[in-house]
Amino acid sequence: MRNEKLYALKQLLKSESAGIVQVKKDHKESQRTTGYGLEGSLWKARKSYRHKHIAYCLLRGREYGQIEHPAKGNEPDWNLIREVQNEYTTSSDVCACQIGS
Protein backbone atom coordinates (compact mmCIF):
# COMPACT_ATOMS: atom_id res chain seq x y z
CA MET A 1 0.00 0.00 0.00
CA ARG A 2 1.42 3.37 -1.03
CA ASN A 3 1.55 6.30 1.36
CA GLU A 4 0.01 9.09 -0.74
CA LYS A 5 1.61 11.91 1.25
CA LEU A 6 5.10 10.45 0.85
CA TYR A 7 4.44 9.88 -2.83
CA ALA A 8 3.40 13.53 -3.17
CA LEU A 9 6.63 14.62 -1.46
CA LYS A 10 8.66 12.40 -3.80
CA GLN A 11 6.95 13.99 -6.81
CA LEU A 12 7.66 17.45 -5.38
CA LEU A 13 11.34 16.53 -5.00
CA LYS A 14 11.45 15.41 -8.63
CA SER A 15 9.96 18.67 -9.85
CA GLU A 16 12.26 20.74 -7.63
CA SER A 17 15.33 18.90 -8.94
CA ALA A 18 14.24 19.70 -12.50
CA GLY A 19 13.78 23.31 -11.39
CA ILE A 20 17.31 23.40 -10.00
CA VAL A 21 18.68 22.18 -13.33
CA GLN A 22 16.83 25.01 -15.09
CA VAL A 23 18.01 27.64 -12.58
CA LYS A 24 21.60 26.43 -13.10
CA LYS A 25 21.22 26.85 -16.87
CA ASP A 26 19.71 30.32 -16.42
CA HIS A 27 22.50 31.20 -13.96
CA LYS A 28 25.22 30.27 -16.45
CA GLU A 29 23.51 32.15 -19.26
CA SER A 30 23.08 35.22 -17.07
CA GLN A 31 26.76 35.13 -16.14
CA ARG A 32 27.75 34.95 -19.80
CA THR A 33 25.55 37.81 -20.94
CA THR A 34 25.53 40.24 -18.01
CA GLY A 35 28.43 39.13 -15.86
CA TYR A 36 26.04 38.56 -12.96
CA GLY A 37 24.45 35.27 -12.06
CA LEU A 38 21.43 34.09 -10.17
CA GLU A 39 23.23 32.92 -7.03
CA GLY A 40 20.35 33.80 -4.72
CA SER A 41 17.78 31.82 -6.68
CA LEU A 42 20.09 28.85 -7.01
CA TRP A 43 20.95 28.89 -3.30
CA LYS A 44 17.28 29.04 -2.28
CA ALA A 45 16.32 26.19 -4.62
CA ARG A 46 19.14 23.98 -3.36
CA LYS A 47 18.38 24.73 0.29
CA SER A 48 14.70 23.91 -0.17
CA TYR A 49 15.51 20.65 -1.96
CA ARG A 50 18.09 19.59 0.62
CA HIS A 51 15.75 19.99 3.58
CA LYS A 52 12.84 18.28 1.84
CA HIS A 53 15.13 15.43 0.79
CA ILE A 54 16.36 14.94 4.36
CA ALA A 55 12.78 14.96 5.65
CA TYR A 56 11.71 12.46 2.97
CA CYS A 57 14.56 10.08 3.81
CA LEU A 58 13.87 10.32 7.56
CA LEU A 59 10.19 9.59 6.96
CA ARG A 60 11.17 6.49 5.01
CA GLY A 61 13.18 5.20 7.98
CA ARG A 62 16.74 6.31 7.27
CA GLU A 63 18.95 7.72 9.97
CA TYR A 64 20.47 11.15 9.41
CA GLY A 65 23.99 9.71 9.27
CA GLN A 66 22.94 7.60 6.29
CA ILE A 67 21.69 10.64 4.40
CA GLU A 68 24.58 13.09 4.66
CA HIS A 69 27.67 14.10 6.60
CA PRO A 70 27.76 17.92 6.45
CA ALA A 71 30.84 20.02 7.06
CA LYS A 72 30.95 22.09 10.24
CA GLY A 73 28.79 25.16 9.84
CA ASN A 74 26.69 23.51 7.12
CA GLU A 75 24.25 21.61 9.31
CA PRO A 76 20.63 21.52 8.18
CA ASP A 77 17.88 23.62 9.72
CA TRP A 78 15.96 21.05 11.75
CA ASN A 79 12.97 23.38 12.09
CA LEU A 80 12.51 23.35 8.31
CA ILE A 81 12.83 19.56 8.27
CA ARG A 82 10.21 19.21 11.02
CA GLU A 83 7.85 21.50 9.09
CA VAL A 84 8.13 19.30 6.00
CA GLN A 85 7.69 16.15 8.08
CA ASN A 86 4.60 17.59 9.75
CA GLU A 87 3.14 18.65 6.42
CA TYR A 88 3.55 15.23 4.81
CA THR A 89 2.61 12.95 7.71
CA THR A 90 0.09 12.45 10.43
CA SER A 91 1.28 12.42 14.01
CA SER A 92 1.04 8.62 14.20
CA ASP A 93 3.33 8.18 11.16
CA VAL A 94 6.45 9.81 12.60
CA CYS A 95 8.60 8.31 15.29
CA ALA A 96 9.92 11.01 17.62
CA CYS A 97 13.40 9.50 17.33
CA GLN A 98 13.50 10.36 13.61
CA ILE A 99 12.92 14.07 14.06
CA GLY A 100 16.12 16.00 14.64
CA SER A 101 19.39 14.81 15.99
For the segment 26-38, the average pLDDT, to the nearest whole number, is: 85
Q: How many structural domains are present in the chain?
A: 1
Residue 9 to residues 3, 12, 97, Cα–Cα distance (Å): 10, 5, 21
Asked if residue 95 belongs to a domain, the reply is no
pLDDT at 87 over 50: yes
- Nearest-CA neighbor of 41 among 16, 69, 67, 76? 16
Task: For residue 15, give Cα distances in angstroms to 8, 21, 61, 71, 72.
Answer: 11, 10, 23, 27, 29
pLDDT band at 41 (very low <50, low <70, confident <90, very high): confident
Residue 92 has pLDDT above 60, yes or no: no
- Residue 97 maps to a domain: no
Buried/exposed code over 42-52 (b: 16+ C-beta within 10 A; e: otherwise):
eeebeebbbbb
In a domain, 58, yes or no: yes
Note the pLDDT tens digit of each residue in 49-82: 999 999 999 999 999 999 999 999 999 999 999 9
